[in-house]
Structure formats: C-alpha cells, structure tokens
Amino acid sequence: MKLATKHLLTIRELTTEEVLGLVARALELKQGWPKGFKPRPLTDKAVAMIFEKSSTRTRVSFEIGVSQLGGHPLFMASRDMQLARSEPLRDTARILSRYADAMVVRTFGQEVVEELATHGSVPVINALTDKYHPCQVMSDLLTVHENLGDVRKPVYAWVGDGNNMAHSWLEAAARLGFELRLACPEGYLPDPEILGHAQTSGAKILLTNDPAEAVEKADVISTDVWTSMGQEEETKKRLKAFSGYCLDRKLLEKAKAAAIVMHCLPAHRGEEISEEVLEGPNSVVWDQAENRLHMQKAIMEALMED
C-alpha cells in the first residue's frame, strides 16, 4: 500500500483505512519473515536516522528493519552533526534530502520533525517526540490485533502520564472510533487540543483521575514510565503525584480476565507497573517490543516504495 501522506509525523495524518492497512501489512511482514518471501523495497536506498534522544528498541528496530528491506541505515547522533553547532534545521533537511531517501527522527520537540518535513524533499518519520509517539502506538495496534482481533472493538485503558503515548492513543482512537479511557493525575493531563480533537471525532473518550475507573472491564491496559527522558529533575515530584497509579495485580483484577497488558519500555518495576504484572500471563510486552520492527517496516515500505 502507498500512503496518501508523504510523511508520518502523527497518526492524525493517516486515514482509517491506512491505519488498518498498515496493521494488516505489518502482520504479513511478520508472518512472512524470515521464511519464504522477503520484500526488498528499499534496495539501494539510504535512511538517515537522526537521534537526539538515546534509544534501544527504536534504534535497533529501525536499523534492522531498513536492512531487512534492502536499504542502508545511517545512524547520526545530534552531537555528531552540525546540529550540535546550531546549523539551522532547514539546512540539514535540504542537505540530507540530497543524500538519503528518508529521515527517521527521534527528538524532543515536535517542531523539529515538522521543520525537517517542511524543508526536506524526502519522507520524514517521527520515531518519537515529546508530543507524539506514532510508530509505537501503530505497532501496539498490531499487538492488539494479534491477541484480540479487530482493533476497533476492544476497550482501551491508559494509566499514567498524559504524555506522547497518551496523545498518540488519543489520535488512534479518533481515527478508529474505539473506546479509550485515560487515568492521569491532575497536572499531568493530555494536551487539551489533542484531547478535544479525539472527543469530537466520534470516539468514546473518558478522562479520569481514578485508575480503577479507567481499567474497569477494559480489554487493553497500557502504561509508561512516570518520568520520561528530559524530565529527570521532576522525578521526586512525579513519584508523589503518581502515587496509586501503579499497574499491579489489584488494579489488573478490575479489568477483564483476558485483558492484555502493554508497556512501551523501558519499565521501572515497582513504579508504574509491578514485576508480577509485567512478567505475568496477561503481559504481551515482549511481543509488543518485537512488533516495533514489523510495523516500522510496513511504514517505511508504504512511504518509500516506488
């Protein structure tokens, strides 16, 4: 499939059919790899990977994904680029567009990926910003599909910070129309514009301060660290604010018995999720992490295939 959009900066840029199509294609790539068919749509193509934030899963899954599709990944930490010497982003976008066939960007501000997309001439993929994490939530939808079938039918619960993951879940709900409940403490709520867009999309959105209310009879429960990269100075304040938000056995028991538990990793065991739940029978965290590889291949194929 070929996407109508040139870039993937947010899930909002995708149509409902494209979201479902990417999930289906990622599953095909997963089931067909490594035996049998090996599509190579990135043969002789280079992907510039600009990382201002360190990473394990994002870097490894994108690098291996590019290689499996026949392309060449070029990893660039910001400290190794002229960005470290304040070269304008628009100049970086123009130059990299003449060398590479796409840019994968993991950074802080959403404005960075937007400016690269505006001034570059090749696809830009948002591998994470402080505002959105579209590739993660798209791969999480693949995980839901594998375990529960139609991704539009389950009841989804988010427990924790109203962060980039919560924002991308809101955009997924807006596109697919599923029920999404978010439990976030006061002071850590999602962006009002993103929340409002989802609430007016036809999706059933609940915002609460009570994790138990969000999780009640839910099919899918997701969480994330309480202190993200770049927020380390807020750790003590956040630990206090998020008291009672740990996804433990007691909270999980309020969900459906067959509910699946997801965490985008890395996990702080005993904070946002207990060891018992993370390693328990409801957890699909390791499949979820693997699915980053397959979804990102589907996204790159859809954006870059001639």
**One-character DSSP codes across 105-136:** EE-S-HHHHHHHHHH-SS-EEEEE-SS--HHH
Residues above pLDDT 90, as percent of the chain? 89
Same domain, 98 and 146: no
Phi, psi of 180 (to 5 degrees): -130, 125
Q: Is 292 annotated as a binding residue?
A: yes
Same domain, 185 and 297: no
What's the pTM? 0.95
Asked, as a colleague might, if the bond just before 266 is cis with ω within 30 of 0, I would say: yes
| Type of residue found at 194 | I
Same domain, 16 and 68: yes
Asked, as a colleague might, if the bond just before 34 is cis with ω within 30 of 0, I would say: yes
Same domain, 109 and 151: no
pLDDT in tens, 211-249: 999 999 999 999 999 987 677 788 899 999 999 999 999
Same domain, 220 and 300: no
Q: Is 201 annotated as a binding residue?
A: no
Q: Is the pLDDT of residue 306 over 80?
A: no
Alpha-carbon gap, residue 38 to 45, rounded angstroms: 16
Same domain, 259 and 123: no
| 197 is a domain residue | yes
Same domain, 63 and 164: no
Q: Which pLDDT score is estimated for 251?
A: 98
Same domain, 220 and 297: no
Q: Predicted confidence band at 84 (pLDDT cuts at 50, 70, 90)?
A: low
Angle ∠(240,168,177) on CA atoms, nearest 5: 115
Q: Predicted confidence band at 85 (pLDDT cuts at 50, 70, 90)?
A: low
pLDDT in tens, 33-58: 655 556 789 999 999 999 999 899 99
Q: Is 85 annotated as a binding residue?
A: no
Q: Is 58 annotated as a binding residue?
A: yes
Domain that holds residue 61: 7-133+292-304
DSSP assignment string, the chain: ---SSS-BS-GGGS-HHHHHHHHHHHHHHHHHSSSS----TTTT-EEEEEESS--SHHHHHHHHHHHHTT-EEEEEEGGGSGGGGT--HHHHHHHHHHH-SEEEEE-S-HHHHHHHHHH-SS-EEEEE-SS--HHHHHHHHHHHHHHHS-TTSSEEEEES--SHHHHHHHHHHHHH--EEEEE--TT-PPPHHHHHHHHTTT--EEEES-HHHHHTT-SEEEE--SS-TT-GGGHHHHHHHTTT--B-HHHHTTS-TT-EEEE-S---BTTTB-HHHHTSTTB-HHHHHHHHHHHHHHHHHHHH--
Residues above pLDDT 70, as percent of the chain? 96
Same domain, 15 and 112: yes
| 25 is a domain residue | yes
Same domain, 82 and 146: no
Q: Is 265 annotated as a binding residue?
A: yes
31: exposed, middle or buried (Cβ count in 10 Å: 0-12, 13-18, 19+)? exposed
Lowest mean pLDDT across 15-24, 32-41, 128-137, 207-216: 32-41
| 81 is a domain residue | yes
Q: Which pLDDT score is estimated for 74?
A: 96
Q: Is 56 annotated as a binding residue?
A: yes
| 160 is a domain residue | yes
Q: Which pLDDT score is estimated for 37?
A: 59
Q: Is 134 annotated as a binding residue?
A: yes
CATH of residue 201: 3.40.50.1370
| 1 is a domain residue | no
Q: How many residues does the chain have?
A: 306
**Catalytic positions:** 106, 133, 136, 224, 264, 292
Same domain, 70 and 142: no
pLDDT in tens, 166-188: 999 999 999 999 999 999 999 99
Mean predicted lDDT score pLDDT of the chain: 94
Cα torsion through 108, 114, 115, 117, rounded to 10: 120
| 2 is a domain residue | no
Q: Is 136 annotated as a binding residue?
A: yes
| Type of residue found at 122 | V
How many structural domains does the chain have? 2
Same domain, 221 and 190: yes
| Type of residue found at 225 | V
